[in-house]
Structure 1
């Protein structure tokens, strides 16, 4: 394994090249056709069995090791970009107007391509099979994980692992934990329907903006006054749209936002509480309303035994820590509902290089050396799993 880990550093410049190519040619969720083609062509070149169009634009590569019997281990990377204008001043900035890789998925794809190439070149060191899942549409519900699973991506798989490069963490340091790690990510859209009219005659109207403003405030009491303060929970209103003129009271106002929880019961309680607050607030002011509440990705919950494997594997790569709870969501959760596995973070932030912007920011970037760390962590997880599997069979 040590020789394979060392070869990651030799492959690193090529991984950077792939990442910068993908960064310049990003594709939105459910539109990743060229990215999928790029991935599939490389996997075929290296001799993997490749299936495209899995659950949509997903690509699955299978590599059979020649080192003997072993488990089937799946490794996942997401491929999609975001509808954000790239504002970085660099030679590899996005060439697609209004679209950029603002969450590191280009680096995830390039990292897993690197792992696939190395393992293909050294398949004699592999026991069992490694399945490479290149997933579309992580950023947009219903996501690509669920449809890929429905299309057989996990067929025959025993374990599944995923890595997210994460700029809030320092470059190169790995993080994970047993049990819940990332939150369920739900969405809501509220439309307040009042009665429009002249701005100078408010008594003749039902002011949708004023009512929607009360909703923004009232919804904050869900977390502050109805949720156990020891339970992690977020209710955020992210958009508020209404009105067309300074002297017109708008007939309609729309709000949209997100709810983040870990506990399944709390998740449903918050949904019910939000719906109740909207109904009662609107009724109090005489307005009608509609609510579209979507249950998004479930929480990411790592298997305890596979989290222990992370601690062993990460120790062979470099520094690591137990991850804090992360209120962001991830559809990798669906894989963990089906198979034992572990989701991990590798730090990609570096203030010395000016890499300080958060995910989904127009100036988002990563310290690319984090890709080498992530590749080594993937390899270390696979080798540890294979060795443990063979020891159990002896």
Structure 2
């Protein structure tokens, strides 16, 4: 028997919204999602879903149909941001200075709605469906910890998908192949000269002119070292040198970010930064030191998964707006760690309010969603999970 998951999601819309409201009211920062974890586990146990804690504050759950099929995983991130909410919603955050300003409350609500519906319809399912409520996406890389603790083990997913709310038309779903989110690296440069009195520059080695030269040179890296067909960002975001108008500081600091989708492009940029640091420091007879902190790998959608998902959603969710193209973002996402384990798909779910005056970007203290997307996203999760678990990736000839 075929299930109309869109109809099921619409029937459960009020309940799914109640999940969203509860989670929005009680946000928790990265690594502190204890109450969120407890509440989610409570829901799952009430529904008699097999579940356990994972990665300290995360949750692992699975529905095993007992019928032949494939294993698929769905993921939702859990953590909130250190942002003071200013939405004025009736269900505004009750945790002062903490807010779900990136939509992770929505992601969890969608996954909970999906689990509730699929558990009710489990007699019609095939294969296995794994559900990952992942902590610490914003800061500490909770995805990697979940993997280390066996979340991608037995049963081993052959495909994993996740939603992220996005500033686009409410309910629209983007299934784009290729790069979706960048690798966000941080770099720092220290220039060491010789301090002294501002009235005696000849007796000092002022780092500031060397830093200015370095800033200009770094600004040209993407033009000089990166092909026009490739995309990258190198941006200096912090400069610090000196404390007083008449004192030449001994040391100056530059800090910035590198954003790339391609490993070779990233390597070129890092090499150029190291070389410029050394050469410009030496030209000014100073000592330059370059260091960096690597971010999450780039999130790249599997092409087969993206094309398959677009076809399945267009077929099963009649009238839904399914987009197959979009502009990759330079933001970072640790969903990429799951993508290293099996084919992955990071979908965008449009969340714009109908009123243009209420459309705010992710991480804004005023960020809010059009609540109609809760049923849309839940239905899409159900469709993707049930279809893949039964049939896997079907070829074009199967449609």
TM-score (norm 1): 0.90
**What is the match of residue 55 of structure 2?**
55
Q: Which is worse superposed, 194-203 or 232-241?
A: 194-203
Q: 1:336 maps to what in 2?
A: 339
Instruction: Report how far residue 47 of structure 1 moved.
Output: 0.9
**320, 323, 328: which one aligns with 2:322:** 320
Q: What is the CA deviation profile of residues 5-36 of structure 1, one whole-angstrom value per residue up to 9, with x for unaligned ones?
A: 21212322233232233223222222222222
Q: Are residue 189 (structure 1) and residue 151 (structure 2) matched?
A: no
- Structure-2 residue corresponding to 1:6: 7
Alpha-carbon RMSD across the aligned residues, in angstroms, is 2.4
**222-231 vs 309-318, which moves further:** 309-318
**C-alpha contact (below 8 Å) 2:127/2:390 kept by paired residues:** no
Aligned residue for 2:160, secondary structure, equals strand
Task: Evaluate the alpha carbon distance shift between residue 332 and residue 15 of structure 1 in structure 2; reply closer, same or farther with a 3 A threshold.
Answer: same
| TM-superposed deviation, 1:119 | 1.3
Unaligned runs of 5+ in 2: none
CA offsets per residue over residues 37-86 of structure 1, 9 Å max, x none?
2222211121111110x2332210111226x3221211000011223333
CA distance in 1, matches of 2:38, 2:245: 50
1:332 Cα offset (Å): 1.1
Shift of 1:247: 4.4
Q: Contact 1:309 / 1:381 at 8 angstroms: preserved in 2? A: no
Aligned pairs (5 A) from 1:166-205: 166-167=166-167, 169-205=168-204
Could you tell me whether the CA contact under 8 Å between 1:56 and 1:144 is conserved in 2?
no
Mapping for residues 238-317 of structure 1, pairs under 5 Å? 238-315=237-314, 316-317=316-317
Number of residue-to-residue matches in the alignment: 388
**SS at structure 2 position matched to 1:43:** helix
Write the distance in 2 (CA, Å) between the matches of 1:258 and 1:103. Answer: 21
Say which of 113, 124, 145 aligns to 2:143.
145
Residues 334-386 of structure 1 show CA distances to partners (whole Å, capped at 9, x for unaligned) of 11111123221111123515332222223222223222222111111112213
Distance 1:189 1:364, change over 3 A: farther
Counterpart-to-counterpart distance in 2, 1:361 and 1:210: 36
The equivalent residue for 1:360 is 363
Are 2:221 and 2:269, in contact at CA under 8 Å, matched by a contact in 1? yes
Mark the CA change 1:278 to 1:356 in structure 2 (over 3 Å): closer, same or farther.
farther
**Change in CA separation of 1:288 and 1:329 when aligned onto 2, cut-off 3 Å:** same
CA distance in 2, matches of 1:12, 1:199: 68
Aligned residue for 2:306, secondary structure, equals helix
**In the alignment, what sits opposite 1:110?**
109
List runs of 5+ in structure 1 lacking aligned partners: none
Deviation at 1:109, TM superposition (A): 1.1
Name the residue aligned to 1:18: 19
Provide Cα deviations, 1:104-163, integer angstroms capped at 9, x if missing partner.
11111111111111112221122122111001111125x111121111101122221111
**Contact (CA 8 Å) 1:70, 1:390: kept in 2 or not?**
no
Specify the SS of the correspondent of 1:338: coil
Matches of 2:380 and 2:227, distance apart in 1: 37
Among residues 386, 389, 394, which one is paired with 2:389 in the alignment?
386
Give the 3 Å change call, closer, same or farther, for CA 248–366 of structure 1 in structure 2. Answer: farther
CA deviations on 1:297-353 (whole Å, 9 max, x unpaired) are 222222222112211222132011123322222211111111123221111123515
Contact 2:85–2:93 at 8 Å: present in 1 too?
yes
Aligned partners of 1:191 and 1:254 also within 8 Å: yes
Q: In terms of mean alpha carbon deviation, does 114-123 or 194-203 score higher?
A: 194-203
Counterpart Cα distance in 1 of 2:43 and 2:366: 29
Deviates more, 1:172-181 or 1:157-166: 172-181
How far apart are residue 223 of structure 1 and its match? 0.6
Q: Report whether the alignment pairs 1:38 with 2:36.
A: no
